[in-house]
Copies of this chain bind each other. A is one copy, B any other.
Amino acid sequence: MNFAVTILGSNSALPAHGRHPTSQVVTFHDRLYLVDCGEGTQLRLSENKIKRSKIRHVFISHLHGDHYFGLIGMLNSFGLQNRPQPLHIFGPAALEQIIRVQLDAALTQLPFPWQFTALREGVPQVLLDENDLVVQAFPTDHHIPCFGFLFTEVHRKRKLDPAMAQRYHVPAAFYPRLQDGEDYVDEQGNRVSNDKVTSASPAGRRYAFCADTRYDERLLAYVGGADLIYHETTYLHEDAEKARLRYHSTSIQAAEFARRAEAGKLLVGHFSSKYESVDPFLEECRPVFAATELAREGATYLV
């Protein structure tokens, strides 16, 4: 079962040193979810040979341009390419007007159905429940309203123990109902309690995109224990004061957050343009949280 994230843009603020503004594609089975959409994202999709028809949902964390200026161009191109697939965009409320005013100015009617859902400020919320995957938003600590996104794999079925089910003489045709949590009752009225023949579903994998944020322990409640956490590291440790003033985080803070969150792995990105090489980020993170990886554009990280 494929669950991964591909980095399209890893830089903050503006493109520099061959790095681009924020965008990621989350792959779950054969569905794609776009997270943020900095300028040029449509070109990054092409370069990385990502099937744009499989993107049905776009999540925009906040309205700093390096996280969404590529959205209108991507929508426009989807239209010119006569995309038929629907698209659902989630983002801060003002984004809808920003999209519509630009479509209106061009007299553009997108040929595919699209809808917009405004994120509610300051509260965690479920955005999408697709049976096997749930996407939630949670607020982060940034200069303007900003949201992280949590992708949670969901196993709805209880785990069947076939040996026990046989031992209790449950007919195989009833197994799906056992997985749904039902007890089995035979013709004589004897009840087999569900928990004797099944166990709880295994916990689903979780990917947490923590967007732009200061170091904020309140986020642990949303993303603690995630298999993979993306946390921004705009600055190195020496610029901790600058990070605080600008509502960003440092390498050490990202690593410390992952350590406290007991994350499986940490992915760091959103590097300031002041750094030509990003290797020092890894050198600062790993002593605090060993399982750290740098977000490299074009690379895919398994959840």
Tell me, rounded to whole Å, the shortest Cβ–Cβ distance linking A68 to chain B.
Answer: 9
| A-side interface size class | 20 to 34
**Which segment, of A90-98, A128-136, A150-158, A223-231, faces chain B?**
A90-98
Kindly identify, within residues 113 to 164 of chain A, every residue whose CB is under 8 Å from any CB belonging to chain B: 143-144
Which of B40, B64, B98, B105 has a CB less than 8 Å from the CB of A95?
A: B105
Q: Which residues of B contact A143 (CB under 8 A)?
A: 107
Q: Which residues of B contact A80 (CB under 8 A)?
A: 13-14
Which of B64, B81, B92, B106 has a CB less than 8 Å from the CB of A144?
A: B106
Tell me, rounded to whole Å, the shortest Cβ–Cβ distance linking A37 to chain B.
Answer: 11
- Indicate if A72 sits at the interface (CB-CB under 8 A): yes
Tell me, rounded to whole Å, the shortest Cβ–Cβ distance linking A99 to chain B.
Answer: 10
Which of B43, B104, B105 has a CB less than 8 Å from the CB of A40?
A: B43
Q: Which residue of B lies closest to A21 (CB)?
A: B73
Kindly identify, within residues 32 to 83 of chain A, every residue whose CB is under 8 Å from any CB belonging to chain B: 39-40, 42-43, 46, 63-66, 69-70, 72-73, 76-77, 80-81
- Indicate if A201 sits at the interface (CB-CB under 8 A): no
- Known contacts A73-B65, A144-B107; is-contact A15 B39 (Cβ 8 Å): no
Q: Which residues of B contact A15 (CB under 8 A)?
A: 42-43, 46
- Indicate if A245 sits at the interface (CB-CB under 8 A): no
Q: Verify B72–A65 contact, CB threshold 8 A.
A: yes
Q: Verify B107–A77 contact, CB threshold 8 A.
A: no
The chain A residues found within 8 Å of chain B, CB to CB, are 13-15, 39-40, 42-43, 46, 63-66, 69-70, 72-73, 76-77, 80-81, 92, 94-95, 97-98, 101-102, 104-108, 143-144
